[in-house]
Amino acid sequence: MTEPRVSSIDGKLAEEFAAPSHVDEVRERIAAFARLHAEAGRCVVLISSGGTKVPLESRTVRFLDNFSSGRRGAQSAEYFLETGYAVVFLHRHRSLYPYARTLSSINVLDALEFSGGTQEPDRVVVNPEVLPNMAKVLKKYREVTDAQLLLPIEFSTLSEYLHLLKASAQSLNAIGSKAMFYLAAAVSDFYIPVCDMPEHKIQSSNGPLQLSLKMVPKILSPLVKDWAPQAFVISFKLETDAAILLDKARRALETYRHQAVVANVLDSRRGYVVVVTPTSQHEVVLSKEDVNNQVEIEERIVTNLTAAHERFIEQQVG
Binding residues for ligand 9Z3 (CB under 6 A): 68-72, 184, 186-187, 235-238, 264, 269
CA pair distance 109, 18, nearest whole angstrom: 39
> 260-265 and 272-277 as β-strands: parallel, antiparallel, unpaired?
antiparallel
Q: How far is the CB of 118 from ligand 9Z3 (least distance, A)?
A: 41
CA pair distance 269, 250, nearest whole angstrom: 18
CA pair distance 48, 91, nearest whole angstrom: 6
Q: Across the strands, what pairs with 235?
A: 183, 261
Residue 52 vs 175, nearer CB to ligand 9Z3:
52
CA pair distance 310, 318, nearest whole angstrom: 12
Residue 23 vs 238, nearer CB to ligand 9Z3:
238
By the 8 A CB rule, do 52 and 185 touch? yes
What is the per-residue burial (b if ≥16 Cβ within 10 Å, else e) of 141-154?
beebeeeebbbebb
Which residues are CB-contacts of 200 (< 8 A; sequence separation ≥ 6)? Answer: 57, 59
Residue 109 vs 215, nearer CB to ligand 9Z3:
215
Q: How far is the CB of 117 from ligand 9Z3 (least distance, A)?
A: 39
Q: How far is the CB of 102 from ligand 9Z3 (least distance, A)?
A: 15
Q: How far is the CB of 75 from ligand 9Z3 (least distance, A)?
A: 8
Q: How far is the CB of 68 from ligand 9Z3 (least distance, A)?
A: 4
Q: How far is the CB of 40 from ligand 9Z3 (least distance, A)?
A: 30
User: How far from 87 is each of 98, 148, 254, CA to CA, in Å?
Assistant: 11, 9, 28
Residue 37 vs 156, nearer CB to ligand 9Z3:
156
Q: How far is the CB of 269 from ligand 9Z3 (least distance, A)?
A: 5
DSSP 63: E
Residue 81 vs 249, nearer CB to ligand 9Z3:
249
Residue 23 vs 253, nearer CB to ligand 9Z3:
253
Which H helix or E strand runs over 150?
strand 150-155
Residue 129 vs 241, nearer CB to ligand 9Z3:
241
